[in-house]
Amino acid sequence: MKPVVRFNKVRKSFGETDVLRGIDLEVQRGEVVALIGRSGSGKSTALRCVNGLEQVSAGTLEVCGHRLHDPDVDLRALRLDVGIVFQSYNLFPHLSVRQNVTLAPRRVRRLTRAQADELADHVLDQVGLRARAESYPQQLSGGQQQRVAIARSLAMEPEVMLFDEVTSALDPELTGEVLRVMEKLASGGMTMLVVTHEMAFARSVAEKVVFMNEGVIWETGSGDMLAAPQTPELQVFVGNGL
């Protein structure tokens, strides 16, 4: 099968600083890939390249048939296929949960209000928040707001979902509720790239774990590799409980 995401010798520099130094990675449809590593290792930059938020400096990157190394790539079309959820929820405070979820489907996908409302009910069911559809963000916990952010991305019916350290600002209880939603998406066959420091999630949910270090893929394998690291760098990373 042709991979949904394919990095081939991808490099990314900011000025004279090399952040990605030749990344090779393939993600198959329905696969969950966890990107782990210290802050500054390049994992979030790699994720942002997949969504076109950063343009690659060299190499080739193909995502859902879009050639992101091409300066003429249609980013609007790309982002219909690729959803992304960040650490910050970025919900509109003056809009209800339902309105936050339906805004993009109505404006970008041109759905009618009835179609968008039906879609909102479906994706809010997926994240366990249909009963809070008429609430406003300030009435929700941080974990609930993050689940709304996930529902908002799901409403665009993407082929690939990206998660960039979405639980790092949450306490353990709220982290658990967000991770359970992500596990449910994974079991439903969603293709996911997840930047995370949650090693238990990476070990139990991801088919592939990618340890990044100094802008390169240092070690990769199944979640079992976290119990038996092959390199000193991953041993130290896992040993520190990061």
The pLDDT of residue 191: 97
Evaluate whether 71 touches 55 at the Cβ level (below 8 Å). Answer: yes
Neighbouring-strand partners of residue 223? none
Percent of the residues in the chain that have a pLDDT greater than 90, as a whole number: 90
Distance CA 167, CA 162 (A): 13
The pLDDT of residue 1: 79
Q: What is the pLDDT of residues 217-239, one digit of tens each?
A: 999 999 999 999 999 999 999 98
Q: Is 98 exposed, middle or buried (0-12, 13-18, 19+ CB in 10 A)?
A: buried
Distance CA 111, CA 131 (A): 22
Please compute the mean of the pLDDT values over residues 142-150 and round it to a whole number: 95
pLDDT at 242 over 50: no
Please compute the mean of the pLDDT values over residues 22-46 and round it to a whole number: 95
The pLDDT of residue 87: 87
- CATH number assigned to the domain comprising residue 190: 3.40.50.300
> What's the number of domains the chain is made of?
1
How many residues are recorded in the chain? 242
The pLDDT of residue 241: 54
Residue 144's domain comprises 5-239
Between 173 and 57, name the one with better pLDDT: 57
Q: What is the pLDDT of residues 88-112, one digit of tens each?
A: 888 999 999 999 999 999 999 899 9
Please compute the mean of the pLDDT values over residues 204-224 and round it to a whole number: 95
Average pLDDT, the chain: 94
Q: What is the pTM of this model?
A: 0.93
Phi, psi of 48 (to 5 degrees): -70, -30
Q: Which residues are CB-neighbours of 121 under 8 A, at least 6 positions away?
A: 130, 133
